[in-house]
Structures are given as C-alpha cells and as structure tokens.
C-alpha cells in the first residue's frame, strides 16, 4: 500500500508565495496596459498607410506585446489556504478597481452634472439602460404558402374557346366564391419573369382562375411584364379591330415573339387597359380598340339620357297630372 503525503507549505512560505504572486499580477497588469497602447498606435499607423504596413507586417507583429504572456504569470502559487480561514477578506479589495471609480474616469462630466442637478432640486437624471440585441437572422426563408376562402369579383372573359369570346367585353361581373392560393417567395419580392423583365405592379392583371380541370397555360396567374405589354400594344396596332378573331390573332403573333399569352388573357388585359384609361380621363382611340369603345359610348349615352330624365336631386321627374274637369251644375234636360 502506497501512501501519498502532500507537503503543505508553512505559514511563512504561503505568505511569501502569495506576495510574489500579487507582485507578478501587478507587473502583468502594467505590461498589458502598455501592450494596449502599442496596439492603438499600430492601428493608427495601419489606417494612415496600409500599404507600408503590409510591407513590414512581419517586423511590426514581432513585438513581444503581440505574444502570449509567460507561463509564470498564469501559474497559481502553492498556498495553504487554511491559514486564511476566518480572516477578513476586505484587504483584497485593493487588488481590484471599483466600478464606480472606473465610470467616473470614463465620464468626468458626470459628477459635475450630478452636482448641478442636486443643487437645482431637479429629479436625478435617469441613466440609460443598454441591452444587447441579438443580430438578425439573414438565413434564407423557405417558400411559404397558405389558402383561404373568400369572395372575389371576377372580370374574366366567359367562354373556354376563342370562338365563344363576346363582341363586347363589358358586362356585369359576378361574385364567385373560390379558393385563392397565395405563394410567398423566399426573398419577399417578385421582381419579374424568367426573362428578367420587370413585372407589372398590379397583381390583379393576372388571368383569373379558370374552370378546374382545364389545361393551364405557361403564363397562368402571372403578371404581365414590360416586354409583353409592348408586344400587346404593337400587335393591337397591326391587327385592326375589324379583323375576325382579333384576340386569337394577337395571341398567335405574341407567341411568335416569345410571349406566351392566350386569347383570353389578351382580351382580359385589353379590357382592364381600357378601364384604366377611362378612369384617368383618357378616351381610347376607336381605330385601335374597336367595338369595345363603341359599346362603351352606347353605354354612356344611355346613362346620359337616364340622367336627363332625372331631377337635380337624383329622383325621376314626374309629369304633372292634368286638372280634373269641373262638373256642370245645370239640370239635365229630359
């Protein structure tokens, strides 16, 4: 059986080791302050002339200030701590710097401000409370989608085939209850189509949801890009309104220019363009827009006649009834 005997330093040895450790730590503190001053001066030289610093960087960083401290500064002394049991530890307060003193050194005007506030009888100045905020998370967000049921007013052109398109696109929109699906892109914005063209700002310009089970086009529910808008205006000017199946011909011409838009989408887009122009007070050219504008003129003419038939208060003017004929009081002849 082997018995390990730990040698306990005597009181004199413990006190001597403790004194030497304190002196080493004080010297290490002084050296650390000097190293920080050297580091500040080095930072100023780097900002003043970065290229010159890079040329002599090895020599600059070879200073002992940029090396790890010797191991003797980190080695704990051999002390019999039982000798200090029951002793008042207040003597060790001189080894540390009070926080209040550090704040006073950093803010020399604080004491003067406190004195002015105290003499004036004002309430003490509230110290700012600093909180650490975690940095924002810039990791990419996955695509999120959700559905909801709602009522939506539709302006979709009725009819599945181009032959069923009406001559006039103006009509009374019907309320239709449907499932509307929204997709949130990962970057939070949708800047355009695959060709890099800027998307239209109005998301309502996309084609309405068609009948379930019908084949969707490649541009279904996609906003019109600037390139597609220019092609639409170009082919509307080339194809006259009197042409049969005008929307189908415009759609075919756009597809030849790498713009896949169906005849239904073209008709819906034209209808909304006319509505916007009328809203801004611009009269569309009948030679370009054709029967749509003529139908709108007839509609406005009927509305004007109706307004003329009404009074200023909005109620219909009734013609006055003729006065009743007066009855004769003469006796009838037999």
Helix (H) or strand (E) holding 149: strand 144-153
Q: Which residues contact 244 (CB under 8 A, 6 or more apart)?
A: none
Q: Under the phi-then-psi rule, with left for phi > 0, alpha for psi from -120 to 50, and beta for the rest, what region is 221?
A: left
Range 289-314 average pLDDT: 64
- Directed axis angle between helix 263-279 and helix 226-238, to 10°? 90
Is 0.85 topped by the overall pTM?
no
The domain boundary residue, chosen from 37, 53, 81: 81
**Residue at 145 is within a domain:** no
> Residue 272 in contact with residue 205, Cβ under 8 Å?
yes
Percent of the chain scoring above 90 in pLDDT:
3
Q: Which pLDDT does position 132 carry in this prediction?
A: 53
Query: Domain for residue 178, yes or no?
Result: no
Confidence of residue 158 (pLDDT cuts 50, 70, 90): very low
152 within a domain of the structure (yes/no) = no
The pLDDT of residue 144: 45
Q: What is the Cα–Cα distance from 107 to 227, expressed in whole angstroms?
A: 63
Report the C-alpha gap between 171 and 268 in whole angstroms: 12
User: Does any domain span residue 50?
Assistant: yes
Question: Is residue 315 assigned to a domain?
Answer: no
Q: Is residue 204 part of a domain?
A: no
How many structural domains comprise the chain? Answer: 2
User: What is the separation of C-alpha 3 from the centre of its chain, rounded to a whole number of angstroms?
Assistant: 73
Is the pLDDT at 13 greater than 70, yes or no? Answer: yes
Residue listed under structure tokens 């002849």: 333
- Distance of alpha carbon 112 from the chain centroid: 46
Look at residue 159 and tell me if it is in a domain. no
Within a domain: 88: no
Domain boundary among 81, 101, 131: 81
- Let me know: does 232 contact 250? Beta carbons within 8 Å: yes
Domain boundary among 29, 61, 81: 81
Residues with Cβ within 8 Å of residue 216, at least 6 apart in sequence:
210
CATH number at residue 262: 1.10.10.60
Q: Average model confidence (pLDDT) for the chain?
A: 69
pLDDT tens, 167-214?
A: 444 444 444 444 444 444 444 344 444 344 444 444 444 444 555 556
261: containing domain: 221-310
């Amino acid at each position: 059986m082997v018995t390990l005997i730990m040698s306990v330093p005597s009181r004199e040895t413990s006190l001597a080791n403790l004194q030497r450790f304190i002196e080493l730590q004080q010297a290490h503190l002084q050296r650390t302050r000097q190293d920080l001053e050297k580091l500040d001066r080095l930072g100023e030289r780097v900002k003043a002339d970065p290229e010159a610093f890079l040329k002599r960087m090895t020599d600059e960083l070879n200073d002992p200030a940029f090396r790890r401290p010797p191991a003797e500064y980190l080695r704990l002394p051999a002390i019999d701590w039982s000798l200090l049991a029951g002793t008042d530890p207040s003597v060790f307060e001189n080894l540390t710097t009070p926080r209040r003193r550090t704040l006073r050194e950093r803010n020399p005007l604080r004491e003067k401000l406190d004195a002015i506030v105290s003499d004036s009888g004002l309430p003490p100045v509230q110290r700012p409370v600093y909180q650490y905020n975690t940095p924002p998370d810039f990791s990419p967000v996955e695509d999120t989608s959700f559905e909801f049921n709602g009522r939506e007013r539709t302006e979709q052109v009725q009819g599945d085939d181009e032959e069923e398109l009406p001559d006039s696109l103006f009509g009374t929109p019907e309320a239709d209850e449907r499932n509307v699906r929204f997709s949130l892109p990962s970057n939070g914005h949708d800047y355009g189509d695959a060709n890099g063209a800027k998307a239209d700002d109005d998301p309502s310009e996309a084609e309405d949801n068609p009948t379930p089970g019908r084949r969707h086009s490649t541009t279904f529910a996609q906003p019109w890009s600037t390139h597609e808008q220019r092609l639409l205006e170009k082919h509307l000017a080339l194809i006259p309104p009197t042409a049969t199946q005008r929307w189908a011909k415009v759609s075919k011409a756009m597809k030849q220019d790498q713009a896949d838009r169906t005849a239904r989408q073209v008709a819906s887009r034209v209808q909304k363009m006319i509505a916007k122009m009328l809203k801004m007070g611009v009269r569309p050219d009948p030679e370009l827009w054709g029967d749509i504008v003529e139908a709108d003129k007839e509609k406005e003419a009927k509305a004007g006649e109706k307004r003329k038939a009404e009074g200023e208060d909005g109620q219909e003017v009734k013609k006055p009834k003729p006065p009743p004929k007066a009855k004769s009081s003469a006796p009838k002849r037999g």
